[in-house]
Amino acid sequence: MIEGAKWKKWVWFYLPLGAFVFSLLFPFYWMAVTTVRPDGELYRPWNHPLYSPFWTAHPTFDHIKNLVQETLFNQWMWNTMLIAAAATLISLVCGVFAGYALARLKFRYAGLLGTAIFITYLVPQTLLFIPLADIIREYRLGDTPWALILTYPTFLIPFCTWLMMGYFKTIPKELEECARIDGAARWQAMIYIIFPIAVPGILSAGIFAFTLSWNEFIYALVFLSSPEQKTVPVGVVSELIRGDVFFWGPLMAGALIGSIPVAIVYSFFVEYYVTGMTGSVKG
């Protein structure tokens, strides 16, 4: 019976879990293998006798060298970093303030405003990109980082607000009341007592916002036009694919290296990230 149970555990647990992990991670492995594969091996058809999918006999850094030296990849990395950091910072400040007001303060229309912000959270970028492109052009922000630094907060703030609102609600009101009795002003209690306690929540929101900015595509595609202004996702897609010609080596190297900043931030703060993600849907 015990033997049978062990067999069952393999079939019902380890096998499916292994299959999930394998299929979810395989594309990244494929990305990495392609990055170090020399061109001669790369362009071998699938029914070629020497097609060796899972390893390479002659690993090379040529594609990475090519990417870094021959393209504007470094510039794209800096652009993305700057835009993601600035948009995250703006969204955090706005989201923390707004979340606090909606969670803690009594004022007219509080419920209505909360609902309105929740609705904007659900507005996808693809709904508004055409009129926004028009507006960006009008304000002469087109083809500058500001076009993205100012528009990314529109999908980051609602999310940060929503997350922080939930977080502030878990902090006992008594803490502020104590500070008030000791003579602190309303805003002092907020900044010196509540915000420091909310740091884990702020971290979650910040990490999530950063990865979302790094991931954004359509605004960056539409609002930026010159190659040296582009972000990593747009730069890799538009500059490394020429018509029908795909430079697969550099493309995969770009995809791999372009993912690293996000992966690093994520690996340091997995727990906060998961809190942010689950908080973002649960509210």
Partner 1 sequence: MTAAKRSRILEREDALAFWLLFPTLALLMLFIAYPFVRGVWLSLTNSTVGEPGHFIGLANFAKIFDDSIFRTAAINTFVYTGVTTVFKLALGLWLALLLNRHFRGKSWVRAFILLPFIIPTVLSTLAWKWMFDPTFSVFNWLFWKLSIINSRINWLGDPDLAMASISLVNIWRGVPFYAISLLAGLQTISPDLHEAAAIDGANRWQRFWFVTWPLLLPVTMVVVLFSIIQTFADFQLVYVLTGGGPANATQLFATYAYQIGIGTGLLSEGAAISLAMFPALLLVVVFQLWYIRKVENR
Tell me the closest approach of the beta carbon of residue 232 to partner 1, in angstroms: 7
Is 237 near partner 1 (CB under 8 A)?
yes
Alpha-carbon distance values, 105 to 43, 181, 186, 199, 240 (Å):
63, 18, 10, 20, 51
Nearer to partner 1, 127 or 199 (CB): 127
Q: Which residues contact 31 (CB under 8 A, 6 or more apart)?
A: 252, 255, 256
Is 264 near partner 1 (CB under 8 A)?
no
Enumerate residues 96-115 that contact partner 1 by CB under 8 A. Answer: 97-98, 100-102, 105-108, 110, 113, 115
Tell me the closest approach of the beta carbon of residue 116 to partner 1, in angstroms: 8
Is 251 near partner 1 (CB under 8 A)?
yes
Is 124 near partner 1 (CB under 8 A)?
yes
- Burial (Cβ within 10 Å: 0-12, 13-18, ≥19) of residue 67: buried
Q: Which residues contact 53 (CB under 8 A, 6 or more apart)?
A: 33
Enumerate residues 163-182 that contact partner 1 by CB under 8 A. Answer: none
140: alpha, beta or left, given left = phi > 0 and alpha = psi -120 to 50?
Answer: left
Which one among 67, 86, 92, 117 touches partner 1, defined by CB under 8 A?
A: 117
Which one among 175, 217, 228, 264 touches partner 1, defined by CB under 8 A?
A: 217
What is the rounded CA–CA span in Å between residue 119 and residue 123? 7
Which one among 83, 202, 233, 247 touches partner 1, defined by CB under 8 A?
A: 233
Is 88 near partner 1 (CB under 8 A)?
no
Is 222 near partner 1 (CB under 8 A)?
yes
Tell me the closest approach of the beta carbon of residue 227 to partner 1, in angstroms: 16
The tokens of 126 are what? 């693809």
What is the rounded CA–CA span in Å between residue 221 and residue 229? 11
Which one among 11, 130, 181, 245 touches partner 1, defined by CB under 8 A?
A: 130
Residue appearing with tokens 């959270």: 121
Which one among 7, 65, 70, 134 touches partner 1, defined by CB under 8 A?
A: 134
Question: Minimal CA–CA distance to 59: which of 41, 80, 86?
Answer: 41
